[in-house]
Amino acid sequence: MLIRGTYTFTGRYKSHLELEPATATKEVKMAEDIQAKLEKYRTAPFDARFPNQNQTRNCWSNYLDYHRCQKVLDAKGVDTTPCDWYKRVYKSLCPLSWVQKWDDQREEGTFPGKI
């Protein structure tokens, strides 16, 4: 594992490197946090309904499916955890500005999709 930090040179030829302990601990902790996030990271899986590079419809479809799933399971009084899969997919595919715009439209009652 590569450890980054502040180094001080000791010795006549500056051949010995000494890592400052406080910086080393902080950098190792950050590296472990990043590694944990990378292990948990998942992107949207392949969907045969959207085989082309343009994933706009895939984004839109998963956004709608998430909110439909939430609506149906909330109406039944059931746990909505299964809907999180759709949310993970649309968050992976959709630009944040689109999601914010759609959320605002849903709150205002002007959302064009059928949920």
pLDDT digits (tens, 9 = 90+) for 2-56: 455 554 445 455 444 454 555 556 666 766 776 776 677 678 888 888 888 899 9
More confident residue, 24 or 74: 74
CA distances from 105 to 30, 50, 94 (A): 38, 25, 16
CA angle 84, 87, 91 (to 5 degrees): 145
Region 97-113: what's the mean pLDDT? 97
Domain locations in the chain as residue ranges: 7-40, 56-108
Instruction: Enter the CATH code of domain 56-108.
Output: 1.10.10.140
> Where do runs of H (alpha helix) occur along 1-115?
21-40, 56-76, 84-93, 96-108
Q: What is the pLDDT of residue 35?
A: 72
- CA dist., res. 18 & res. 62, Å (int): 52
